[in-house]
Structure 1
Amino acid sequence: MAKISEFLVVVLVIFAFLLLLGGVGIYLLVKLGKKAAVKAKQASTRLATHVNAMGTGDAAEVERLRLDLRREVSLTRQAVEQAQREGWGLGDLPRLLADLQAQADVHDAQLGMYAQQRRLSPYVDHATLDRLRQHQAKLTAMCARIRADLLSDQVQHTGSGIADLTSRTDLEIEARRSAPVDPLEQIDELYRRSMEERNDRP
């Protein structure tokens, strides 16, 4: 009887452990599924934007503006991240970029709303479209200015490195050259050789 109860306890412990593992597995699958759903939604939104940008008219133009803005912000973010990896002193630039990215997301949502309304309604609000274009121009100009400043700093740093390397190369080449021979010593050497040749003749 004791052996049977021990066996049942072992089976129940194993069963409880398997239930616990199953619960953890289900939890992780649900969490992974939610992340996959969010990624799929983002991908479908981007795909829809690309497809809608291929058309003509105001809605397609606005979709192209959205794509341009995303590209500009992405390029700027990559430039700032590269500068951070290389250890450049960026000051408050990463925080400024975060604010710029947040504002670009708001602007992107506004552009998306305008494009959707433009596709569904025949009535056009030209004043809003002009303001959206102005905001777009300001945001993309800020991105371009940030990238240009970072690139200028990098080129300046590279230029100083190249100048240092050039001066070191010049010094090394100069050090490798043999010391110039004194012309008087050359004349003495030639005279000595000619005298030796005369003495060697019978």
Structure 2
Amino acid sequence: MAPIGTFLTILLVIMLFFLVAGIAGIYLLVKVGKKATKKARKVSTRVASQVAAMGPGDAAATERMRLDLRREVSLTRQAVDHALRDGWGLGDLPQLVAEIGTHADQLDAQLGLYAQHSRVSSYVDHASLGRLREHHAKLTTSCARIRADLLNDQMAHSAGGIDDIQSRTDLEIEARRRAPDPLDQIDELYNRTMVNRSRPDDHR
């Protein structure tokens, strides 16, 4: 009876192991599937926005504003992340960019809603579009100013390093030049003296 009990115990342990592995596999598949679904939705939304931005009218203009806003915010985030990786002291700039991103998401939703209304109805509030344009201009201008400021700081830092490299290069080249040989200088002086002595004879 003991061997049978041991066999059943081993069998139950193996079955339990496969059960746990199966549950873990199903969990991973569900998690990966959710991520893939989210990415697919984002891609489909972007493609739809790009297609809608190609047409005429207020709806297309609004979609172009959405694409422009997303691009500006993305470029600004990349610039700030790059500066952080390089160890730049940015102060409250990362927090400011995060707030800009939050406002940009809200404006993107508002622009999308306005574009939807423009496509399905001919009665739209053009004053609202004007306010949306103002908000869009303020956010995109802020992004451009942040990137320009970061670029100026980086260029100023690089300029100091480049000037230092140029000075060191001049010093290194000067140090590598061969010092004049005193014997060569004496020989050159002697040759000049002989030439000067021979010139009066040539005139005669």
| Shared fold, TM over 0.5 | yes
Q: Distance in 2 between matches of 1:125 and 1:188?
A: 94
Q: Distance in 2 between matches of 1:188 and 1:27?
A: 93
- Of residues 56-65 and 159-168 in structure 1, the stretch that sits farther from structure 2 once superposed is 159-168
Structure 1 portions without partners, runs of 5+: 195-202
CA displacement, residues 121-165 of structure 1 (integer Å, 9 cap, x when unaligned): 111210000000010000000000000001111111111111111
- Give 2:145's aligned amino acid: R
Q: Cα distance 1:180–1:22, how it changes in 2: closer, same or farther (>3 A)?
A: same
For the pair 1:119 / 2:103, whether they are aligned, the reply is no
Q: Which residue of 2 aligns with 1:95?
A: 95
- Give 1:86's aligned amino acid: D
Q: Which residue of 1 aligns with 2:144?
A: 144
Q: Secondary structure in 2 aligned to 1:89?
A: coil
Q: How many aligned positions are there?
A: 194
Q: Distance in 1 between matches of 2:174 and 2:185?
A: 23
| Cα distance, 1:98 vs structure 2 | 0.7
Q: Cα distance 1:124–1:7, how it changes in 2: closer, same or farther (>3 A)?
A: same
For the pair 1:14 / 2:29, whether they are aligned, the reply is no
- Of residues 167-176 and 79-88 in structure 1, the stretch that sits farther from structure 2 once superposed is 167-176
Q: Secondary structure in 2 aligned to 1:30?
A: helix
Q: CA RMSD of the aligned region, Å?
A: 2.3
Q: What are the equivalent positions in structure 2 for 1:127-166 lying under 5 Å apart?
A: 127-166=127-166
Q: Secondary structure in 1 aligned to 2:89?
A: coil
Q: Which residue of 2 aligns with 1:27?
A: 27
| Cα distance, 1:21 vs structure 2 | 1.1
Q: Distance in 2 between matches of 1:41 and 1:155?
A: 39
Q: Which residue of 1 aligns with 2:176?
A: 176
| Cα distance, 1:28 vs structure 2 | 1.6
- Give 2:2's aligned amino acid: A
| Cα distance, 1:175 vs structure 2 | 2.2
| Cα distance, 1:190 vs structure 2 | 3.9
| Cα distance, 1:5 vs structure 2 | 2.3
Q: What TM-score comes out, normalization by structure 1 length?
A: 0.88
